[in-house]
Amino acid sequence: MRFERKRTRAGLAVAAALPLMAGALALGTPAAQADQPHDRQLLSGTKPLWATANADKGDTADASGVTARVYLAGRDAKGLTAYATAVSDPNSASYGKYLTAAQTQARFGATKEQIAEVTAWLKSSGLKVTGTTQHYITVSGDVAAAEKAFGTQLHNFTKDGKTYHAPATTASAPAALNGAVLTVVGLDNAPKIAKHDEALPPPGAVFKNAGPFSSYYGSNTNKKLPSAYGTKAPYAIKGYTGKDLRAAYGAKSYTGKNVTVAITDAYASPYIVQDAKKYAKNNGDQAYRKGQLSQVLPADYNSTEACDAGGWYGEETLDVEAVHAVAPDADIVYVGGASCQDNDLLDALNKIVDGRLADIVSNSWGDVEANETPDVAAAYDQTFLQGAVEGIGFYFSSGDSGDNVAKTGKKQVDTPGNSPWATSVGGTSLNVGKGEKYQWETGWGTEKAVLSADGNSWTGFPGAYTSGAGGGTSNLYAQPFYQRNVVPDSLALANGGGVKQRVEPDISAVADPNTGFLVGQTQSLADGSLAYSEYRIGGTSLAAPVIAGVQALVQQARHGIPVGFANPLIYDRYATSAYHDVTDHPLGQGRDQAVVRVDFVNGVDAADGTITSLRSLGKDASLHATVGFDDVTGVGTPGKDYVTSYLPKNNHR
């Protein structure tokens, strides 16, 4: 079986944020391989960074098994990148001249001859071909066969206290294949094996918010609680709904009619249809018409325990309900991955591209960049490029751990949103006041202080950092063209070395679980029974589908013309009334904001008591929401003129 690292859900922040769960790749040929034979093509990035000389424990046993995917570069890899750039750049003569899926395959996909030649090479090396698609060839065999095929030895290396095998040098393919091979994924086996033929488990344990709540931001304040920042903080809202988000982000009368939004996550909730319908009815959203919500699911699932399959049900539920709340007429197609592993999530994304299933794709999952190997990044980029030439845009959560120092000990961004060909969506804390009136936003970053035993102070005020929107400067990718003259050099050059690099996020929306979205989901009760309940949720898992919904409104405003890869257009509107320019101090420097939360100790009811805490807003580790572009919110959040800024000239509504 393929050994892979797993992706985790970005967000789903409730009592606290749950674990997370353009340019070219900045890759080079290692100096030690300068004598690589001229009859071989290096597959850059196939030796992981953790496979160091100090961690090397010697040869992997020849009899050990290897399963790998050999991704195909297609007939014109450079042409694909060039066309994706041209078709996405509003200043290009080719802008918007999208290809169909069939045209994309015919123009850029692998030829039958290339597939046959790559297959013959793999078989001649002693590997068994177990599957072939237009994107890759799957092979299995022993270590000796893999070493022969890819021109490298596999060694055992220690990583995080465990031992895995990986290429000792960069893998390669025969030069005679004329560049037909893009990369190979699977020559390292960190961190686990995927097991097949697994049934989906029940949903995760129930969670409920305690209250009291504000009905809108600031509506309910307990004057007996201690002050914070010179004033009394209001209780957190019960949870925003569609009418609040549509008002905040300039929906006007647009509904996403005749637009399709795809959502990818791992697995699939067996209760999604009934939950989505009940939630819409309870919260004033438009009822789903027949066929408006559909699913494309794999024939089999794997890694259900390792990936916490039941926990992904809430992710799908949040994504579906958020998109429908913002764009009530948009069609939604959920495309489930067979697991949370990269290969299975890539399969889900490729289904969308190959079948042209949607124009907009929301993805609320990811991992830290240090865990991304360049071979896997190349496979994602190829999918994003093919989507771009078809007019498909991919939106990814930027992460829920700020600069990731508290989580990993290292300042870094999240992936796959780090790709120059994806739109990274950051997060904010949102204030929508009485009558659905937008007041302000801060960057999402939370510090928590608990009410003292005597009730007279907030212990350790302002408290410890809990969570916040991901952002920062990539170590893998160079600065893409659309970020030039917008992203400050202080961010683009933050990694040193004098090279400007990709900065996340690009755009943002509400993500703070303390100012979050009300979601409705079937969950498991303590006695093992199932019941539907509603609770407030957040994370950039919320921000991504909200922006996807807003983009559906944009496409409707464009008379159905797809936005495609959105970043050039997003940056083209920078510093205009299209955006709320979000800062951490929207009411002035030094005027911090906070809300009060009351939570059940056991997450369900008051049997074990409650905890009252103060949640300070706009404190995202070393990241800061500032005037202009920043590493928490990007260019900002959609403002009252965002959707209408896409209207064709001389067309007013």
pLDDT at position 49 is 85
Q: Tens of pLDDT along 429-456?
A: 999 999 999 999 999 999 999 999 999 9
Mean pLDDT over 8-32 rounds to 41
CA-to-CA distance for 638 and 428, rounded, in angstroms?
Answer: 12
Torsion sign over Cα 290, 293, 297, 303: negative
Cα(501)–Cα(503) distance, integer angstroms: 6
If pLDDT is split at 50, 70 and 90, which confidence band does 653 have? very low
Closest listed residue to residue 343, CA positions, set 476, 192, 200, 203: 192
Say what the pLDDT of residue 38 is.
75
pLDDT value of position 575: 97
Phi, psi angle pair for 277, to nearest 5°: -65, -45
Q: What value does the mean pLDDT take over residues 202-213?
A: 94
Dihedrals phi, psi of 334, to nearest 5 degrees: -95, 125
> How buried is residue 603: exposed, middle or buried, by Cβ count under 10 Å (0-12/13-18/19+)?
middle
> What confidence category does residue 10 fall into, taking pLDDT thresholds of 50, 70 and 90?
low
pLDDT at 12 over 70: no
**pLDDT for the residue numbered 198:** 53
Tens digits of residue pLDDT in 213-269: 999 999 999 999 999 999 999 999 999 999 999 999 999 999 999 999 999 999 999
Gap between the Cα atoms of 528 and 418, Å rounded: 40
pLDDT of 193 above 60: no
What string of DSSP letters covers 79-135? HHHHHHHHHH-TTSTTTT-PPPHHHHHHHHSPPHHHHHHHHHHHHHTTPEEEEE-SS
pLDDT confidence of residue 36:
55
31 has pLDDT over 80? no
Task: Measure the N-to-C terminal CA separation of the chain; round to a whole number of Å.
Answer: 55
CA-derived radius of gyration, the chain: 24
Which helix (H) or strand (E) covers residue 515, if one does?
A: none
Token look-up 């800024």 returns 645
Looking at residue 50, its pLDDT comes to 87
Give the mean model confidence (pLDDT) for residues 355-380.
94
Phi-psi region of 338 (alpha: psi -120 to 50; beta: other; left: phi over 0): alpha
Find all residues with CB under 8 Å of 439, minimum gap 6, and list them.
217, 431, 432, 433
Closest CA to 67 of 127, 7, 152: 127
Mean pLDDT (the chain, rounded): 92
> Is the torsion defined by CA of 355, 360, 361, 367 positive or negative?
positive
pLDDT in tens, 560-575: 999 999 999 999 999 9
| C-beta separation of 143 from 165 below 8 A | yes
**Whole-model pTM?**
0.94
Q: Please state the separation of Cα 156 from the chain's center in Å.
A: 31
CA 237 to chain centre: 26
Q: Which long-range contacts (CB under 8 A, 24 or more apart) does 584-590 make?
A: 584/442, 584/443, 584/445, 584/617, 584/618, 584/619, 584/620, 584/624, 584/625, 584/626, 584/632, 585/442, 585/618, 586/440, 586/441, 586/442, 587/440
Residue 15 has pLDDT above 70, yes or no: no
Residue 28 has pLDDT above 50, yes or no: no
Higher pLDDT, 549 or 34: 549
pLDDT at 3: 32
Domains of the chain: 3-21+36-193 (no CATH), 242-646 (3.40.50.200)
Identify whether the C-beta of residue 228 lies closer than 8 Å to the C-beta of residue 616. yes
Percentage of the chain surpassing pLDDT 70?
93
pLDDT reported for residue 248: 98
- At 176 the three-state DSSP class reads helix
State the greatest distance between any 2 C-alpha atoms of the chain, in Å, as a whole number.
78
In a 10 Å sphere around its CB, with 0-12 CB exposed, 13-18 middle and 19+ buried, how is residue 392 labelled? buried
Q: For residue 63, what pLDDT is reported?
A: 85
pLDDT digits (tens, 9 = 90+) for 292-306: 999 999 999 999 999
